[in-house]
Structure 1
């Protein structure tokens, strides 16, 4: 059902029961936290959530509240405490940490750190989890300690890990508890991944408060391993005037949350200095923001990788690349022979965001994400116009083969306008808290149903190639994400036109435009239960998720 075909009846009893069960579970978790406060939270300012109190500011911080032009911060790297060859061992603690974005108004973010101590006052460390940098064949052991007021998990987004190690919502870690995640990375798994929480109905809040981090798996035979590498991790920040993280409002739940600031490695419009051709790994870690990346019409770049690693051949001569929420890419950015000032920007992209009263909201205008200065040192080959040669062949990407089974996944949504918490589009009106009472009147569904943790929607057989038909019968874009494997996009159909995918690539996330059908080939190699869902995290929390059982 399209969202503009409003229905008058109330939400189904199943959906009401769904919300009631989760509210009861959250209440119990919050009560336990109140009875046993964590020492590290004493003396900190209150957060804008239902646990710690709502923001006290009258509205959002202005667009010019954050400084611009500071050097791009380097991501932290998680240290390996193991002395065993081929074993990566570390600890990640999820905990509240004060961060200074607004002068005199510290912001309490939720962050992954290797310890519970807070950064030193004035620390410039980005509010992003540390980079986990490992190699194919490594065994990874991460001890996760939850010092949040909510249950949480760590989901290893895109990585081929066993189902019971993937941080699925059925396996939460309670506040104050810990668990060990352990998995071995097989040959062929090299790529650009990330990690984030996945507790149902709390994922969106935990990510927008700061819980996310990059994960790289490297191959011994990487043809680009000699290239200088730059890491660009995008996140979204919705900041109140008093420095607190603003809670979700109705439009945030309806469209997915977009803040007034897009941060790059935790900084607002930082400065990037490019002095030679570089390999960029780019992550879209935003809840819902689409990033149509461009360096300008005259600054071309090459795409060499997707979610699951390198392409077979580079895609040269690009000026734009769309990254949906959750997607990653690897790029080759040339410095050129003439020094010039440019910018990394997000071009305007219309994803069909809803308005509360009628119709759709206009697309967001283009915005600068970083200032980029291109200048090769005098006397260098690049300054003389000599480009570093890019291999014509990066790796083999064989087709998965003939599917032996077919599956259909249909995204739908429905709005009961009379039940929505407010009936106008004024920003800042009637703010909804993030998880005390999820909004009524919205249904985001897969195959006609909202997520039920007790139900398996689809069943697959291990090691069988399947073709999935992903259909978006809504009026807005939705990014599809499948756990446990990488898949290959075969073709796209829109407005009656079927277009074969022009190149093979490994992906775990693919965007579905309104009215579009995307056909993918996929194979699951481990038995157990997996999730598949929309990666607009608010939509995932509101039910656009389902369970796949692999037998």
Structure 2
């Protein structure tokens, strides 16, 4: 949402009698005089003036999960992948008898790029939208100049050529989406996103059959058109009435023997606390944002904040089916919202076939070097009746300004950042073009180490939690860092670091 559209929302605002806490101390002072859970409702009340939404019963469900559409390599040169991305308005009959207008790449729902490590990637971005856009290569180690920062949008009717070469020893599950100034949230919830898989020829899991599960959120009004954000959407992050996988509502997933699932949380605001019941399946996490873990980790659930990815290997324990469920996760939403509850998102039909045993070791991840530069990032919130959310989302007390560089660092410096979520609700942290290791977390004075070593580009922080991360950036230019709840990013919870 751009600033010119704020006026039409002001009619639903009113003066706040209580302010959102800016600090931990203020939070405790207010909590002491309030009943349980009242910190959610005390923030504000607002009129329920949201347009009626489409009934869930009208959305088809129970269909077999479809594969994501692959983008074809147009290059005949070995080691080169060449394609185009054409964002444009596209009508899709997702509800029988009704045409819903999406914004899609190449008129495809969630297209995917699938390449080998070391590939040179060439993409022509042809903008057929009514506004400027960019393409951000989320998680990929590309230079700032081609990473879709908001400073240099592809204008209406313009074509932009983007090229980058992937490292030779690199793999993992990534994605791409728009990142224009102030309109990222809207362009993504209208449908603009896609997957990006990088394969290692020596992948120790390459013999295991794969499925892609790309989670995205859809909110439709009663005319089956994509609804605008409400004030609660801007405040908490958008959660539509339809949680989709590969563009489908509550599909049926076939799990025949051991499978490797690549999972993307591409929702704007919804967290996914996926359940893998031990009575039904044997489940191991084998990868996260930055590729394979050092060894498989047995799991029964997996929490992914918006923007995070993971890979899990599942083996059914019996014939039959179970409901893939996102377990209720309380992330401290503001305003008068419904209580969190378990969300069924798919049926999994299991067939017993030959089990594929996992190797004990997947790869070695070097220990992070010792940092020589240190920075502190602090998330806070403050009530503001002129904001679309009624709240300002701040980093170090400021909202995002494209003309302001928040930090300058010499390229190649080992950096340690402390990210402090000094607010009442969960916020995530994402930095462009890099992978980092989490050194430690701290909550209520207790310091804990990560359960296992992994490379990340997006992490979640609970209320009043700190995370200390270590990374090196060898590329010169400006990188963005922000909360990946897209509404919070669009409203200013973002900063810039320049490598010189």
TM-score normalised by structure 2 residue count:
0.89
Residue equivalent to 1:480: 429
Q: In 2, distance between residues paired with 1:541 and 1:177?
A: 23
Residue equivalent to 1:258: 239
Q: After superposition, what is the alpha-carbon deviation per residue over 1:90-139, rounded to whole angstroms, capped at 9, x for unaligned?
A: 011000111112222210000001xxxx6xxxxxxxx5231100111111
Q: In 1, distance between residues paired with 2:86 and 2:323?
A: 35
Q: After superposition, what is the alpha-carbon deviation per residue over 1:283-321, rounded to whole angstroms, capped at 9, x for unaligned?
A: 0010010000113352341000001100001102x1100
Name the SS of the counterpart of 1:546 in structure 2.
strand
Instruction: Rate the CA distance shift 1:4–1:495 in 2: closer, same or farther, 3 A.
Output: farther
Cα pair 1:295 1:342 within 8 Å, conserved: no
Cα pair 1:268 1:369 within 8 Å, conserved: yes
Residue equivalent to 2:267: 286
1:180 shift after superposition = 0.7
Residue equivalent to 1:229: 210
Residue equivalent to 2:364: 396
Equivalent residue in structure 1 for 2:251, among 258, 270, 273 = 270
1:274 shift after superposition = 1.0
Structure-to-structure mapping, 1:26-41, within 5 angstroms? none
Are 2:232 and 1:239 equivalent residues in the alignment? no
Residue equivalent to 1:503: 452
Q: After superposition, what is the alpha-carbon deviation per residue over 1:41-81, rounded to whole angstroms, capped at 9, x for unaligned?
A: xxxxxxxxxxxxxxxx9510112221211000110000000
Equivalent residue in structure 2 for 1:375, among 351, 368, 382 = 351
Q: In 2, distance between residues paired with 1:303 and 1:204?
A: 29
Residue equivalent to 2:82: 89
1:440 shift after superposition = 6.7
What root-mean-square deviation, in Å, do the aligned CA atoms of Structure 1 and Structure 2 show? 1.6
Residue equivalent to 2:8: none
Residue equivalent to 2:377: 409
Structure-to-structure mapping, 1:73-472, within 5 angstroms? 73-113=66-106, 128-298=109-279, 299-316=281-298, 318-336=299-317, 338-355=318-335, 361-376=337-352, 380=353, 382=354, 387-416=355-384, 419=385, 439=388, 441-472=390-421
1:335 shift after superposition = 2.3
Residue equivalent to 2:40: none
Instruction: Rate the CA distance shift 1:453–1:471 in 2: closer, same or farther, 3 A.
Output: same
Cα pair 2:323 2:347 within 8 Å, conserved: yes
Are 2:488 and 1:539 equivalent residues in the alignment? yes
Cα pair 1:487 1:506 within 8 Å, conserved: yes
Q: In 1, distance between residues paired with 2:373 and 2:18?
A: 34
Name the SS of the counterpart of 1:199 in structure 2.
coil
Cα pair 2:66 2:246 within 8 Å, conserved: yes
Q: In 2, distance between residues paired with 1:138 and 1:275?
A: 32
Q: In 2, distance between residues paired with 1:194 and 1:331?
A: 17
Runs in 1 of length 4+ with deviation above 4 angstroms? none
Cα pair 2:234 2:389 within 8 Å, conserved: no
Unaligned runs of 5+ in 1: 8-56, 119-126, 421-437
Q: After superposition, what is the alpha-carbon deviation per residue over 1:452-499, rounded to whole angstroms, capped at 9, x for unaligned?
A: 000000122222211110100111111100011100111111122111
Equivalent residue in structure 1 for 2:466, among 495, 500, 517 = 517
Q: In 2, distance between residues paired with 1:354 and 1:129?
A: 31
Residue equivalent to 2:12: none
Are 2:7 and 1:5 equivalent residues in the alignment? no
Name the SS of the counterpart of 1:334 in structure 2.
strand
Query: Of Structure 1 and Structure 2, which has the larger fraction of its residues in strand?
Result: 2
Residue equivalent to 2:27: none
Choose 260-269 or 287-296, whichever is displaced more.
287-296
Unaligned runs of 5+ in 2: 1-16, 22-49
Cα pair 1:129 1:214 within 8 Å, conserved: yes
Q: In 2, distance between residues paired with 1:307 and 1:4?
A: 39
